[in-house]
Structure 1
Amino acid sequence: MEPINLYRDRLLKHYIIHHNMITISIVLFFYTWLYGYHFNSLFFFYYNLTAGIFNLIVYFYICRMPMCKIRPFINLYFIFFVLYMLVYAFCMWEKSPIIFAWLFLIPLASGSLFSQKTTVSWIFCIVALAIITMICSKFLYVFFEETTFSSSDILLINICSLLFIFYFLIAGTYFNRRVYKLSSFQESKETTVKQYQSILNTSRGIVENYRLKEQLKKLYETILIYFEKEQPFKNKDFSLIQLADALNTNVSYVSRAIKLNTGSNFNHLVNTYRVAHVKMLINEDALKRHSLLYVYDSAGFKHQSTFNKVFKQIEGVTPKTYAHNMTKHE
């Protein structure tokens, strides 16, 4: 793991586990005292005391775990938090709607830990729970009708809730900014590495391309020497494979060497040498001693029609016209 990711995980663990869970335990024990000794509500006294003890047990259980193993517990912890808050919502949402504000702290924490999709899902779930609470509380209020609070009690509950929620919002915003900066730095670092890698690959490609061109130029020079010395084009069945075998290389390299240095292919190179050989024979008055059939046959052409076509393509005139012009010059 890269150091920046390791530091990010430590930061996550410090905020989510050490900071938030300890703070939540303090809040729960504060509400235990508030409801038990100030409001004289035994139900909420034991309810908050149980929740506080449970929160501490979970904290001591997971605080020694690495962050990668803690993540699966977090969504489960959020679910328990929602169930805990639903009792308050069913009991007093009409008198203190601020109860729902506690639930919207979940997306704030989720945004630093999970994907945007998971965070949006939690927002939809909380909105749905608020609607369900408003509908079902009319039917469930009978279970909490003995739990009543005066206006001053509700005011105190709202003030405490606002103070704690405000604190969690400030702490969450501060933490999210630190994580965002780390993520931005990581993205910038990855982008720089990719750009450097791209430049490096391009440079390597240029060097490798230059080396390849040099190799292909040397191979083409070898081909020309082989053609001049051995005159393999005189063989009517001479092929690209035979040339590659003769030079101890492969067909692809030979083709690329010819293409790079002449702009044409193997067949054109062979025909160029064959036509040059025919011209040499004509210039040496071979037609006075031999027929045209002998001349193009000795140069490696199989058929006269092919010979005439290739000769005209390369020289711009037919073999007979070329021979006639040579005779006139003499």
Structure 2
Amino acid sequence: MTADKEFMDKSVDALKRKLISQYVYLMSGILLAYSLVFYFIIKDIFFAACTLTYAVTMFYTFMVIRKSYNIKFLVHLYISYAPLFAGFVMLDFWKFSAATAMWLLPVPLGAHIFLPKKYIYIYTLYILLIIVAVSVLTKFFVFDYFALDDVKVIVASDTFVGVSNIAVFALLLYYNEKIRKVEIEGNILTKLGFSEQQEMSAMPEEEAVEKEKAGFGNLENTEKYNLLFNEIRDIVEDKAYYKDVGFTISQLSNILKSNNLYISKAIKLNGFSNFSHYLNTCRIENVKKLLQENDISKVTLMYIYTESGFSNQSTFNRVFKQIEGVTPSEYLSNLNIGE
């Protein structure tokens, strides 16, 4: 698998996990509101309790597993049992209004986003069977969970169901577009980059670097390198890897499952001359932050620069002067004057 393909898969996986979390939050809120509709408008304590329990269980379960779960397993599990609960609710509403069937409509779209194509047909058939079962059961049996003899109550319920499902569809469609865009761009870049990677892998390193420089201005790949730089920044800055004195571009490459040339290019596209320049800029920014946050009379300069990833003062002084244009002592003097 190429670095481009791995990067695309990671990006798609991240989008899918973000969609799942936002869907859980949205659906939990919708079900909580629906339980209030049951309690205050439809005036049925039993269904209010059932809906509230379902909402709390879904939200709590996701909170427990949110850091580690298999996407496909979770999606299969949810779109298997969620339509059953919807069918249970539909049994009583069906003789007054079929609008509750709208709860089932996002299922095929969810299958389309998360699962292989065959499952779209399988789960579409599944929800059709539930609708048929509800229709048949309500013809032969009377499900008087509660009396819906007030037209206003039915209209209020149908309106709530409609608005809720529009919100769910909007969320699913928004992320579906983002995921497909990443997949399409990734496939194109993988096809474009495969022959290039083969060619570059056969070249001497110096020649490969020159080829990278020659293609530096290709705007087709700008988005790819911007996405890569976001991941670089997450590792180096947000997770503070810059504080590691011995941190190298090869270590970063292993963490990101990318390669040194791509990482170097992403860094250059974002205004830095090379990996060392980027790393040292992060370190100097942290030094400045610590100088502003601490009383220099109570902490040593050595503590500040070692805490920021510099191994010795001579290197720190040289890098500070290169990036800031002044020595650390001059910077401190200006900082004290400004105060």
| 2:38 counterpart residue number | 35
Query: Does the aligned pair in 2 maintain the 1:82–1:103 contact within 8 Å?
Result: yes
Match of 1:96 in 2: 97
Shift of 1:78: 1.3
For residues 191 and 172 of structure 1, what CA distance do their matches in structure 2 show?
Answer: 28
Does structure 1 residue 64 correspond to structure 2 residue 67?
yes
Match runs of 1:121-136 below 5 Å: 121-136=122-137
Return the TM-score normalized by structure 1. Answer: 0.56
* Superposed displacement of residue 110, structure 1: 1.4
Equivalent residue number for residue 75 of structure 1: 76
Amino acid at match of 2:78: Y
1:51 aligned partner: 54
User: Matched residues, percent identical?
Assistant: 16
1:139 corresponding residue in structure 2? 140
Q: What letter corresponds to residue 156 of structure 1 in structure 2?
A: A
* 1:176 counterpart residue number: 176
Question: Per-residue displacement from partner, 1:60-102 (whole Å, max 9, x unpaired)?
Answer: 1221115xx2321221111220111011211112322121121
Residues in 2 aligned to 1:84 and 1:165: alpha-carbon distance in whole angstroms? 15
**8 A contact 1:62–1:70 mirrored in 2:** no
User: Partners of 2:42 and 2:93 in 1: how far apart?
Assistant: 14
Partner of residue 160, structure 2 = 160
Per the alignment, do residues 57 and 149 of structure 1 end up closer, same or farther by CA in structure 2, a change over 3 Å counting?
Answer: farther
Q: What's 2:110 paired with? A: 109
The 2-side partners of 1:168 and 1:146 are apart by 27
Task: Tell me the distance in 2 between the aligned counterparts of 1:40 and 1:118.
Answer: 38
**Residue 11 of structure 1: aligned partner:** 15
Q: Which residue of structure 2 aligns with residue 303 of structure 1?
A: none
| Amino acid across the alignment from 2:37 | L
RMSD of aligned residue pairs (Cα, Å): 2.3
Is contact 1:90–1:137 with CA below 8 Å preserved after alignment?
A: yes
Query: How far 1:103 sits from its partner (Å)?
Result: 0.6
Contact 2:96 2:148 in 1 (8 A): no
Return the offset for 1:139: 2.8
Equivalent pair of 2:95/2:138 in contact (CA under 8 Å) = no
**Secondary structure of the corresponding residue to residue 95 of structure 1:** coil
- Where do residues 304-323 of structure 1 align in structure 2 (5 Å cutoff)? none
For the 8 Å contact 2:39–2:48, the answer to whether it is kept is: yes
Which string of whole-angstrom CA distances, capped at 9 and with x for unpartnered residues, describes residues 104-126 of structure 1?
10111111111111112111111
RCO (CA 8 Å, sep 6+): is it higher in 1 or 2?
2
User: What is the CA–CA distance in structure 2 between the aligned matches of 1:152 and 1:12, rounded to whole Å?
Assistant: 39
Deviations 1:36-79 (A, max 9, x none): 1222211111111111111112211221115xx23212211112
1:192 pairs with 2:192: yes
How far has the Cα of 1:145 moved from its partner?
Answer: 5.3
Letter in 2 for 1:94: K
| Partner AA of 1:150 in structure 2 | D
1:19 CA displacement: 0.5
Secondary structure at the aligned position of 2:79 is classed as: helix
Shift of 1:199: 6.8
Q: Which secondary structure does the structure 2 equivalent of 1:144 belong to?
A: coil
Which structure has the larger Rg over C-alpha atoms?
1
* Counterpart Cα distance in 2 of 1:149 and 1:161: 18
Give 1:282's aligned residue: none
SS of 2:185's equivalent in the other structure is helix
Residues paired across the two proteins, number? 199
Distance in 1 of aligned mates of 2:147 and 2:62: 30
Mind listing any 5+ residue stretches in structure 2 that lack a counterpart? 204-339
More helix by share: 1
**Alpha-carbon distance in structure 1 between the residues aligned to 2:141 and 2:179:** 42
CA contact 1:32–1:44 (8 Å) conserved in 2: yes
Q: What is the alpha-carbon distance in structure 2 between the residues aligned to residue 81 and residue 154 of structure 1?
A: 22
Is contact 1:90-1:140 (8 Å) kept?
A: no
